[in-house]
Amino acid sequence: MKKIISKIFVLCTLVLMFSCKKELLNQDSPNTLTVDQFWKTELDAKKGINAAYAMFYQNGGWNRWIYFRLDLTSDEGWSNSPWTELGDWTRFQYVNYNFWEGNVNTYRDTYKAIFRCNQVLTFVPEIPFGDEKAKSEILAQAKFLRGFYYFYAAILWENFPIVTTIQKPTDSPQQSSLAEVWAQVEKDLTEASADLPEQWTGDEIGRATKGAAQALLGKALLQQHKWSDAKAAFDYLVTGAGKNYYDLVDYKDNFRAENENNKESVFEIQFSDANKTGEGDGPSSNMGSNRAQFFAPRSIGWSDGQARFWLVNEFKKEKTIDNKVDPRLRYTLFYPGLEADFGDKIYGRSWEWGGDEAWFKKYSRDYMRSNEDYFNQVNNRVIRFADVLLMYAEALNELGQTADAYQYVNRVRTRANMVGLATAYPAIGNNKDMFRERLKAERSLELCGESVRWADLKRWGDLDTKENVDKVALRDPDFKNFVVGKHIRLPLPQVEVDNNTNLSQNPKY
């Protein structure tokens, strides 16, 4: 009996002993594909480009913090946040260059987006497609998005290291000059424009179009004062082959969840409240915008950002044809006279804030609910046709074709029921400088709170001299902290400068 037991016992254990095969050590992830298994099919390519679009939903970019850089740092907005450091980063008090919310998060998410574009541009050319056009459209979208992110990198940090390949953990890119970054933007957008469709249809609407690439290219060229090239780029939308795709619509339809992707929309970030969870790379991550939650008035939202009151005054300077308040004010700002002027309440409340305070209204949902949250579904019309018209007028004016520029400004004014520019301001005539000054006002009235002002100030040279900055500071006292030659660009994250020996910190930081 004993012997039998022991024999069975030894046998069993011997079997166990040798059943351990080394193949057991090759365990693939049961959860998802490996990089080697992906990038094989047309569907993979489409998923790849979709993931690049999904970067719009992350905190560093158009989901949240970019608005602090573009809107609040400009003279349109400011921060009275109880979170002092957050506020300091909208008033040129940059102490800790590694401040996540003010700098590093946006810098990081810019590179995350570029990484996604670079993956598409690296792998998709090798994927066999039944329809080569579909392939070229995917590649063109990746170039558009990469150009888009480099555009804002040029606006924010200027000397932003260009990365156009998939990085290894060991890679340390060289520093790039602003001119090099602009060259990259132009190259990407030019190439994108060549292959992007003029329009998307059905469930693909919202992707980048040829017009979007041309408009962003024009905007990049305008920023570099390449007036003639900029005009040429805008031609497609205004006078060229694409002109029938674009028009102006009811003003409020540019800022609401209804009538999205309309004729005025040139490039629009698609937001959705389908996933009410946190942002990031997890399952069912939020596809909404946090902007309204952060900008909504005190006790409705975080109230971390608000509008400067000079904007209200600017709107009140000129009445409409029928002697009413500029209707654009109604959809642009929450201000003390909103209810008196237009009969609108603020998220259902009467004015309960300071007499000299104003809050950004565009993309808010006050017209449909009494509060905000992190899941705002209102698309952001990053570039809309009215902006293109005004930029077109600006290019023409700088090229000395001032008379020709009037009609484009007037298209925008007419929509707002304002009288023609020549009638309202007869003194301007064909004076280039006066026309430019008026155009600045026209842009703020039309586009205030749409994240274009910081680039405008830079382009106009309003931040290049102490004298000009002092004028801006009259509208926004935060600019008293502005040091010429320093605050025109953000500091690079210090941790990146320290850890990448090829980098030097931006001047004066």
Partner 1 sequence: MKKKLHFSKELKLCFILSSLFILCCQTVFAQSNVTGTVSDKSGSLIGVGVQVKGTSTSTTTNENGVYTISVPDAGSAVLVFSYIGYTTQEVGVKSRSTVNVSLVESASDLNEVVVVGYGTQRKKDLTGAISVVKAADVNKKQGTTVAESLQGLATGIKVRGGGEPGSEAQIQIRGLKNLSMTNPLYIIDGLITNANRDFNPADIESIQILKDASAAAIYGSRAANGVIIITTKKGAEGPMKIEFSGKSSIQTIPRYDLAETDEFARINFMAYDNAKLKRQELDLSNNTDWQDVAYRTGNMQDYNLSFSGGAKDATYFVSGGYFGNKGTVISTDFDRYSFRVNTKGTKGIFTIGENLAITSAKKNEMSANPIVDIFRMLPTIPVYDPSHPGGYGYGDEVKARTFGTNPLAIANLEDRVNQNLRIRGNLFAELQLLKPLKFRTSLGYETSRDHYTYLKKDGFWTLNQAYDPAIFNENRAESSTVLVENTLTFNKALGKHTLNVIAGQSYQKDNYGMMWGTKRNILLNQTTGHYYDVLDQGDEPKTGGFRERVDLISYFGRLEYNYADKYLLNAIIRSDGSSRLGKDYKFKSFPSISGAWRISKEDFFKSSWINDLKVRANYGTVGSGNIGPYDYIALINTFSTVPFGPNGHTQPGGTQVKLANADLRWEILQQQNYGFDASFLNNKLTVTAEYFISKTKDALLQYPILISTGNDGGNPFVNGVTLGNRGMEFTATYSENSSDFKYNVTANLTTLNTKILDLGYGKNKTFVGNTVTEVGRPIGMWYVLQTDGLFQSADEVANYKNAGGKVIQPGAEPGDIRFKDNDGDGEITNKDKVVVGSPWADYELGLNFGASYKGFEFSMDWFGSFGAKVFNGPRSVMDNFSDNSNYRAGVQPWTPENPNTSIPRAFYGSTINARGDTDRWLENGSFARMKYIGISYNIPNKLLKGIGFSNARVTLSGQNLITITKYTGLDPEFSNTSIFEKGFDYGAFPNLRTVSLGLNFGF
Question: In the range 237-276, which residues lie near partner 1 by CB under 8 A?
Answer: 260-261, 270-272, 274-276
Going from the C-alpha of 490 to that of each of 59, 223, 314, 340, 505, the distances in angstroms are: 18, 17, 29, 41, 10
Q: How far is the CB of 446 from partner 1 (least distance, A)?
A: 26
Instruction: Please answer whether residues 209 and 244 qualify as being in contact, where contact means their C-beta atoms are separated by less than 8 angstroms.
Output: no
State the residue for tokens 């004062």.
Answer: 225
Site for partner 1 in 385-444 (CB under 8 A): none
- Cα 490 to its chain centre, rounded Å, is 16
Does 95 help bind partner 1 (rule: CB under 8 A)? yes
| Out of 92, 96, 232, 414, the residue judged to bind partner 1 by CB under 8 A | 96
Q: Give the residue with the Cβ less far from partner 1, 269 or 488.
A: 269
Q: How far is the CB of 337 from partner 1 (least distance, A)?
A: 21
Three-class DSSP labels, 326-392: CHHHHHHEECCCHHHHHCCCECCECCCCCCCCEEECCCCCCCCCCCCCCCECCCEEEEEHHHHHHHH
| Out of 190, 224, 377, 407, the residue judged to bind partner 1 by CB under 8 A | 377
Does 348 help bind partner 1 (rule: CB under 8 A)? no
Q: Residues in contact with partner 1, total (CB under 8 A)?
A: 107
Q: Give the residue with the Cβ less far from partner 1, 171 or 247.
A: 171
Does 83 help bind partner 1 (rule: CB under 8 A)? yes
Q: Which range, of 65-73, 198-206, 329-337, 468-476, touches partner 1 by CB under 8 A?
A: 198-206
Q: How far is the CB of 324 from partner 1 (least distance, A)?
A: 33
Does 204 help bind partner 1 (rule: CB under 8 A)? yes
Q: Give the residue with the Cβ less far from partner 1, 210 or 365.
A: 365
Does 32 help bind partner 1 (rule: CB under 8 A)? yes
Site for partner 1 in 435-494 (CB under 8 A): 493-494
Q: Give the residue with the Cβ less far from partner 1, 124 or 409.
A: 124
Q: Give the residue with the Cβ less far from partner 1, 113 or 189.
A: 113
| Out of 62, 68, 97, 479, the residue judged to bind partner 1 by CB under 8 A | 97
Q: Which range, of 138-146, 205-213, 217-225, 232-240, touches partner 1 by CB under 8 A?
A: 205-213
| Out of 147, 161, 305, 336, the residue judged to bind partner 1 by CB under 8 A | 161
Instruction: Please answer whether residues 339 and 366 qualify as being in contact, where contact means their C-beta atoms are separated by less than 8 angstroms.
Output: no
203 secondary structure, DSSP code:
G
Residue 347 parent element (H or E): none
Q: Within 13 Å and on the Cβ side, how many CA atoms surround 73? A: 29
State the residue for tokens 């642009």.
Answer: 332
Q: Give the residue with the Cβ less far from partner 1, 1 or 427.
A: 1
| Out of 228, 239, 277, 504, the residue judged to bind partner 1 by CB under 8 A | 277
Q: Give the residue with the Cβ less far from partner 1, 211 or 493.
A: 493
| Out of 67, 78, 111, 482, the residue judged to bind partner 1 by CB under 8 A | 111
What beta strand segments (E) does 398-462 contain? none
H helices of 196-319, in order, are 210-223, 227-238, 291-295, 310-316
C-alpha torsion 455→459→461→463, nearest 10: 10
Buried b (16+ CB within 10 A) or exposed e, 474-503: ebbebbeebeeeebbbbbbbbebbeebeeb
Does 323 help bind partner 1 (rule: CB under 8 A)? no
Does 38 help bind partner 1 (rule: CB under 8 A)? yes
φ, ψ at 104 (rounded to 5°): -65, -40
Q: At what angle do helices 105-123 and 132-156 cross, to 10 degrees?
A: 160
205 SS3 class: strand
Q: Which range, of 37-45, 394-402, 421-429, 466-474, touches partner 1 by CB under 8 A?
A: 37-45
Q: Which range, of 138-146, 383-391, 457-465, 496-504, touches partner 1 by CB under 8 A?
A: 496-504
| Out of 133, 461, 495, 504, the residue judged to bind partner 1 by CB under 8 A | 495
Does 108 help bind partner 1 (rule: CB under 8 A)? yes
Dihedral sign for Cα atoms in the order 191, 451, 86, 367: negative
Q: Give the residue with the Cβ less far from partner 1, 35 or 427.
A: 35
Phi-psi map region of 400: left, alpha, beta (phi>0 left; psi -120 to 50 alpha): left
Three-class DSSP labels, 146-173: HHHHHHHHHHHCCCCCCCCCCCCCCCCC
Does 51 help bind partner 1 (rule: CB under 8 A)? yes
Instruction: Please answer whether residues 296 and 372 qualify as being in contact, where contact means their C-beta atoms are separated by less than 8 angstroms.
Output: yes
Q: How far is the CB of 322 from partner 1 (least distance, A)?
A: 34
Q: Which range, of 49-57, 312-320, 438-446, 459-467, touches partner 1 by CB under 8 A?
A: 49-57
Does 172 help bind partner 1 (rule: CB under 8 A)? yes
Site for partner 1 in 284-303 (CB under 8 A): 284-285, 287, 293, 298-303
